[in-house]
Amino acid sequence: MNNAEQFIQNRLQQRADKGILRTLSSTEFPIDFSSNDYLGFARSSELKKHTASALTHLTDYKNGATGSRLLSGNHAFTEETERGIAVFHHAEAGLIFNSGYDANVGLISSLAQRGDTIISDELIHASLIDGARLSHANRYTFKHNDLHQLEAKLKIARGNVYVLTESVYSMDGDIAPLAEISKLCVQYQAHLIVDEAHALGIFGAFGSGLVQMLGLENMVFARIVTFGKALGCHGAIVLGSTNLRAYLINFARSFVYTTAAPIHSIATIHSAYQILAKTDHTVQIKSKIALYLDLVRKSNVRTIPSTSAIQTVLYNNSIAAKEAAQTLQNKGLDIRAILSPTVAEGKERLRICLHLFNSDQEIEMLVNELKTLKHE
């Protein structure tokens, strides 16, 4: 075995020994409490039909984009879609990336320069962390949602300062105190960047997100909205000023050096926004969340307080979390354990996602099953 193969084997063995080896599985369980398809758009036949109809209006569309947006891969329909999404989100402009990962990496790494400072909540998504790592800026973190620590870091920050936060945290499900964070950013002339991946479809009028729910559009420097969660498709948009859009077209490497999304993907995104803007689903999804919270409140389940569609059941080791997931899966409930290093060691958990399509009976069954599990 050569050195590289030996290295690979050792790393995999270390993970296996700790019981945290990641593997792919295509097993499906009947009742979905795991996917990010909060509003059921991924399975929506209305969305499929809408997309097919949008495509019939795009005569001669190609299967693939054939190049970067800067070369042969741009399409007037993509720019029209970006303008429509920006209007929906009360933003001046928007630029679509192939994924939320690409959007975050491209935005943060191109924006923050040597001598600038990035201050991030300790629980921000890996894609924001990777964007910060790729930049040459100074980096600080603050304890999750801790405004005092954030202010302390703002006081010592140099250069252009960027504060990174999610509006709904992807693994904890709790929300950031965005109004307070944005005030601090104004006070210290920092630029606030908010990842709305898990707020879209859940918070704000017509699911427009937490920034809009709180009326903070003008206090936020940039927002990242991803399409792979509540919108049930794929890709993401960075929302901000017209200047920021032009800057990203020039400097965001994950935008410049990649083949653009195919037009049927853009048609799906376009159609999903039309459906989102037509009916406000937030009241219905909130009633599902309220039912779950009401039932779970009367149990001994250890959770992180959350009013979003993401709910947690905490364990203090990976074996307990995996066993709990397995027990629930055996009952037909699709629930996955989230292990370290995705979450901190000792904070392993079940990550439960509630959906519009989960019936009240399914939610009741879920909580009844949770109650029968061991909770230390």
Size of the site for ligand PLP (CB under 6 A): 14
Picking from 208, 168, 166, 123, the residue whose alpha carbon sits closest to that of residue 311 is 168
| Choice from 44, 127, 258, 312 touching ligand PLP (CB under 6 A) | 127
> Is the bond leading into 30 cis (omega within 30 degrees of zero)?
no
Give 197's contacts (C-beta < 8 A, 6+ positions apart). 100, 125, 166, 168, 170, 224, 225, 226, 229, 236
| Binding pattern for the stretch 199-238 against ligand PLP, x by CB under 6 A and - elsewhere | ---------------------------x-x-------x--
- In whole angstroms, the minimum distance from the beta carbon of 335 to ligand PLP comes to 17
101 scored as a contact of ligand PLP (CB under 6 A): yes
| Choice from 42, 132, 197, 276 touching ligand PLP (CB under 6 A) | 197
| Choice from 170, 182, 208, 311 touching ligand PLP (CB under 6 A) | 170
Q: Are 376 and 320 in contact (CB under 8 A)?
A: yes
- In whole angstroms, the minimum distance from the beta carbon of 120 to ligand PLP comes to 12
Query: H-type helices in 40-177, by residue range?
Result: 45-56, 76-88, 100-111, 126-134, 147-156
CA distance linking residue 299 with residue 367, whole number of Å: 8
Per 3-state DSSP, the chain is made up of helix, strand and coil in percentages (nearest 5) of: 45, 15, 40
125 scored as a contact of ligand PLP (CB under 6 A): yes
Residue 308 or 358: the one with the smaller Cβ distance to ligand PLP is 308
Picking from 254, 237, 252, the residue whose alpha carbon sits closest to that of residue 194 is 237
Q: Give me the residue whose beta carbon is nearest to ligand PLP.
A: 100
| Binding pattern for the stretch 13-52 against ligand PLP, x by CB under 6 A and - elsewhere | ----------------------------------------
CA distance linking residue 67 with residue 259, whole number of Å: 5
109 scored as a contact of ligand PLP (CB under 6 A): no
Q: Token digits for 83? A: 């303008």
Q: For ligand PLP, which stretch binds (CB under 6 A), given 138-146, 193-201, 334-342, 350-358? A: 193-201
Residue 230 or 367: the one with the smaller Cβ distance to ligand PLP is 230
CA distance linking residue 9 with residue 12, whole number of Å: 5
CA distance linking residue 333 with residue 25, whole number of Å: 15
282 scored as a contact of ligand PLP (CB under 6 A): no
DSSP 168: B
Residue 104 or 117: the one with the smaller Cβ distance to ligand PLP is 104
Residue 197 or 343: the one with the smaller Cβ distance to ligand PLP is 197
| Choice from 32, 195, 348, 362 touching ligand PLP (CB under 6 A) | 195
CA distance linking residue 338 with residue 311, whole number of Å: 12
Binding site residues, ligand PLP, CB under 6 A: 99-101, 104, 125, 127, 166, 170, 195, 197-198, 226, 228, 236
